[in-house]
Structure 1
Amino acid sequence: MTERPAPTPDDIRAFEAQNPKLRARDAAAALGISEAGLVAARIGAGATRIAAHPDRLIPAAERLGEVMALTRVEACVHEKVGVYGDYHPGEHAAMTLAEDIDLRIFPAHWVHAYAVESPASEDGQPPRRALQIFDAAGDAVHKIHLRAGSRHDRWPSLVEGLALPDQSVGQDVAARRPAEGARSRPDKVDILREEWARLTDTHQFLRLCSKLKMNRLGAYRIAGAPFARALSPDAADAMLQAVRDAGIEVMIFVGNRGCIQIHTGPVRTLAPMGPWQNVMDPGFNLHLRRDRVAEIWAVDKPTSRGPAVSVEAFDAEGGLIFQVFGVGKEGRDSRPAWRAIVDALPARTGVPA
């Protein structure tokens, strides 16, 4: 079987023009290219290659006022409206701790970036503008979409300040690294359980897994009660409905290798559509492909501030889709109500080996 030739930039632009409503990720998949390659076909015609490092990009984004931050994995999209601020740089990990836009950033995966602009439409809609960041394989890491109330007047100088000398059309990308499936060490389960019981911070958990040559999902599969309980895959819906009905605040994490985005607050409006379950709240949208949830776990980790109870979903390849925790802030402690919700979620019958 012969491989189809790679589409030229003209081919890519023509395909987009013929399919204006197709999402960028789906258009790239249909063309057999990376999403970064899709955007880079428009360099000089609505796209500008810019500096990707968060130390330059995030402070620039702070100048744009209210925007929409988007982080996604294949099965889930997390969107927050707010203003970037309180940026904390770091060689291996950085953070944005603004009130609404709360990110954990891993700079090594911020490799390609573009400022993208679509012209104003004939019906009077203003130009659509966004900063888009991709990893080495050309997969989207994070996107910053301007809104009607954003500081559009600052866009030209921002793009000029971030633009790179190389504005050639097209983008070479590396091979995509496959997702890591569950890694367990049943012979180490006693050590896992003993050290899990002594955790004082949730961040210690991944270090424990690494030391025992396991990963998160592999550890959950062998730990057993009271540490991890396998839930029915439809528990994701039940969990979101219960959080909505209880009116409590939770923390919802969605992240890829380069960025984790966090919503802290309630879930008010659920709008299922086909395979998607959608949270459609002012300032926060979540789009979850329920049919991509292969495993979901209730997890209990001890900390110095009390138990950290989470619900965590994984896809069929072992990739993490989302994590949800109760809020434990002083005066906003939802943890007892959250634990009651988690304890009531239906168990899974038959656990993957």
Structure 2
Amino acid sequence: MRACPPAETLRAARRDSTLRARDLAASLNVSEAALVAAHTGAPAPFSVTRIAADPDVLMPNMARLGRIMSLTRNDSCVLERVGTFGDYHSGAHAAFVLGKEIDTRLFPKYWTYGFAVEEETAKGLRRSLQVFDRYGEALQKIYLREESNTEAWAPLIAELRLDDQSPEIDPHAPPAPEGARPAPGKREALVAEWRKMTDTHQFNRICTRLGMNRLGAYRMAGAPFARRVAVSAVADWLEAVSAAHQRVGFFVGNRGHIQIHWGTFDTLKPMGPWLNVLDPEVNIHLRNDHIAEVYVVEKPTKRGPATSIEAFDARGELIFQCFGQRTETDETLDGWHAILDAIPSLREAAE
């Protein structure tokens, strides 16, 4: 377990700080979930109610809130998507919400702590549902907007409210990053299995069977399966996708949740180390300085090659994946492939 100061100490720290909760928690060497939990039962301006974190209990009710903003992040990328939740599909290993606006994949075993948060801000009352894993790290946050169904909030929280309203929790210490895990001597087997894929979801099973992880497999396979490109290519790639109005599927996730934006990147606003997409329905905030390795990856499927660009941080953690979005008018994704083909390989970029 990670040692945690008393709830009142954390409340006082938050009152005296202008930092975001995630950054404040890091500065205090506590988990963000512990910082949020400390305000359970507290009065305004920051009050918290502990709620069920079980996706089967929580997610079927999200459509009641109407149009919301769903936020998923990791240490290097934040994806904020505006929309309405569609149908929830339960699963012991993986559950999902499929919709034109909100598209997510959930891994229930990690959904440990749930909170309903009400915060008084200069712009008015901000309401959110926040879910964290056993390590106290955020998995998903759902924020109400001006157009949300605010009348559904109070009865929903009453239904989801836990009997345990303790302001203190005991998250586990997070595990060390795995880093790249190749399997020496198994490149031939990897390539043979790679060529036989008919669905991108088969890739993880191949890696597990061969005793490697995603980044380890990419390093071993090399071009043309996983072509390493320069880190600087990401900014240029974003510009090219935006200029071409290319529709994409942009995946951002953490150990317990993946969210996908389907559509274009219209408004780019770089700011310091951040590469930002600031569109009405989607905001993306990407720490360009965290990117350590980038690959253009091609996997065979029944519909033709699925080609993605994927970025990893210095610890070997996946930051994002992005695929071209097939549509009725763009089935072959020629424009998407042209954008990726124009990115020079790492060795070429250095020359």
- Write the letter of the residue equivalent to 2:71: L
Moved more, 67-76 or 334-343: 334-343
1:168 partner amino acid: S
Matches within 5 A, 1:141-290: 141-290=139-288
Deviations 1:132-190 (A, max 9, x none): 00000000000001111111111111111000000011111112122211111230101
Looking at structure 2, the residues matched to 172 and 264 of structure 1 have their Cα atoms a distance apart, in angstroms, of 37
1:27 to 2:20 alignment: no
C-alpha distance in structure 1 between counterparts of 2:284 and 2:331, whole Å:
23
- State the TM-score, normalizing by the size of structure 2: 0.95
> Residue 37 in 1 paired to residue 34 in 2?
yes
Identity of counterpart residues, as a percentage?
52
Q: Deviations over 1:312-351 (max 9, x none)?
A: 000111100000000123334372111111111132239x
Q: Distance in 1 between matches of 2:325 and 2:99?
A: 17
Residue number in structure 2 paired with 1:300: 298
Task: For 1:51 and 1:265, locate their aligned partners in 2 and report how far apart those are by CA, in whole Å.
Answer: 32
Tell me by how many angstroms 1:254 deviates: 0.3
Consecutive aligned runs of 4 or more in structure 1 exceeding 4 Å deviation? none
Equivalent residue number for residue 325 of structure 1: 323
Segments of 5+ residues of structure 2 without an aligned counterpart are none
Structure 2 Cα separation of the partners of residues 5 and 165 of structure 1: 24
Matches of 2:315 and 2:165, distance apart in 1: 36
CA distance in 2 between counterparts of 1:311 and 1:335 reads: 14
8 Å Cα contact 2:40/2:48 also seen in 1: yes
Whether the 8 Å CA contact 1:248–1:334 is kept in 2: the answer is no
Match in the other structure for 2:85:
84
**Paired amino acid for 1:311:** I
Give the counterpart letter for 2:212 in structure 1. M
Show CA shifts across 1:266-311 (max 9, x none).
Answer: 1111101110000001110100000000000000001010000000
CA distance in 1, matches of 2:3, 2:197: 53
Structure 1 residue matching 2:193: 3-state secondary structure: helix
Determine helix, strand or coil for the equivalent of 1:333.
coil
Superimposed CA distance per residue, residues 63-104 of structure 1 (whole angstroms, 9 cap, x where no aligned partner): 000000000000000000001111111111111012110001
Determine if contact 1:75/1:321 at 8 Å carries over to the other structure: yes
Q: The residue matched to 2:124 in structure 1 has which SS?
A: coil
Per the TM alignment, residue 6 of structure 1 is displaced from its structure 2 partner at its CA by 4.1
Q: CA deviation at 1:17?
A: 1.5
| Partners of 2:230 and 2:293 within 8 A in 1 | yes
The separation in 2 between residues aligned to 1:219 and 1:6, in whole angstroms, is 38
**Residue pair 1:326, 1:334 contacting (<8 A) in 2 also:** no
Q: Do the aligned partners of 1:249 and 1:334 also contact (CA within 8 Å) in 2? A: no
Whole-Å Cα distance in 1 between the matches of residues 198 and 232 of structure 2? 31
Return the offset for 1:36: 0.4
Q: Distance in 2 between matches of 1:192 and 1:296?
A: 20
User: Equivalent residue for 1:50?
Assistant: 51
Other structure's SS at 2:347 match: coil
Query: Is 1:69–1:81's contact at 8 Å kept on the other side of the alignment?
Result: yes
Alignment of 1:4-23 (within 5 A): 6-20=4-18, 22-23=19-20
Q: Equivalent residue of 1:49, what SS?
A: strand
For residues 139 and 328 of structure 1, the distance between their equivalents in structure 2, rounded to whole angstroms, comes to 34
Q: Distance in 2 between matches of 1:79 and 1:346?
A: 30
- Rounded to whole Å, the distance in 2 between the matches of 1:282 and 1:70 is 14
Question: 1:138 matched to which residue of 2?
Answer: 136
Distance 1:112 1:5, change over 3 A: closer
3-state SS of 1:205 partner = helix
Long gaps (5+) in structure 1: none
User: What SS does the aligned partner of 2:346 have?
Assistant: coil
CA distance in 1: counterparts of 2:4 and 2:100, whole angstroms: 44
Secondary structure of 2:157's counterpart equals helix
Q: TM-score, normalised by structure 1?
A: 0.94
**Segment of structure 1 superposing worse, 172-181 or 64-73:** 172-181
Partner SS state of residue 186, structure 1: coil
The residue type paired with residue 327 of structure 1 is Q
- Deviation of 1:5 (Å): 7.9
Deviations, residues 190-240 of structure 1 (Å, cap 9, x unaligned): 111111111100001111111110111001001122101101011111111
What is the letter of the counterpart of residue 221 of structure 1? R
